[in-house]
Amino acid sequence: MTTMTKARLRDIPQLFALYRTAFPRSERKPFGIILRMAREGRADLWTIRHRGRFAGLAATVNGPDIVLLDYFAVKRSLRGRGVGSAALMQLEKQYAGRGFFVEIESTLEEADNRDQRQKRKEFYVNCGMVPMNTEADVFGVRMELLGIRCRLDFEDYRGFYREHYSPWAAEHIKEVL
């Protein structure tokens, strides 16, 4: 059984360790920013457990109408066992009534990890997320957006960053044409 709870202080070391190994350096913001945003109520940091043991993390950035799944990772040893799908379904229910979206590394450009990117996209699509046909260069990483209950064009997306991160962060979001 997969469960999710808001992260507690004792969860932070495991969450941070997974965060560092699951995401490339180019996509990781300082973990302290995630913790600060959660303390301020602008974000949620979730601990995923499977059969009572630590299994993963989810971090969201919360707007009143739209929620960004900013980071989502399951321990490598538990991937392919339905843990991620179960956790994603719980997140979707948690934020019911609001749009819910994720950024993934573009599957439309050549990359050494293109197969991995495609599998990630297939995971989200199989969980009900729909490609929004919106791409952006986010701090130098080309991303595409997938979502449920929302559609964001580039300006809406950049506006989300401006409002829920900072104007500085929004200036580092560039449109991919």
Domain extents for the chain? Answer: 2-175
Q: What is the pLDDT of residue 112?
A: 87
Q: Are 60 and 67 in contact (CB under 8 A)?
A: yes
pTM, to two decimals: 0.94
How many angstroms separate the CA atoms of 53 and 13, rounded?
Answer: 14
Q: Confidence class of residue 44 from pLDDT cuts 50, 70 and 90?
A: very high
- For the cut 90, the answer to whether the pLDDT of residue 109 exceeds it is no
C-alpha distance from residue 154 to each of 171, 176, 177 (Å) = 13, 9, 10
Q: Confidence class of residue 161 from pLDDT cuts 50, 70 and 90?
A: very high
- For the cut 90, the answer to whether the pLDDT of residue 148 exceeds it is yes
For the sheet with 173-175, list strands across it: 2-6, 43-50, 53-62, 66-74, 99-105, 141-148, 130-138, 173-175
Among 177, 128, 137, smallest CA distance to 157 is for 137
> Rounded mean pLDDT of 131-146?
93
> Rounded mean pLDDT of 150-167?
93
How many angstroms separate the CA atoms of 36 and 92, rounded?
Answer: 23
Q: What is the pLDDT of residue 110?
A: 83
25: which residues sit within 8 A by CB, 6+ positions away? none
Average pLDDT over the chain reads 94
Identify which has the larger pLDDT, 109 or 53. 53
Class of the CATH domain delimited by 2-175: alpha beta
User: What would the pLDDT profile of 120-129 be if each residue is shown by its tens digit?
Assistant: 999 999 999 9
Q: What is the pLDDT of residue 39?
A: 95
Q: Are 70 and 43 in contact (CB under 8 A)?
A: yes
Q: Are 90 and 4 in contact (CB under 8 A)?
A: yes
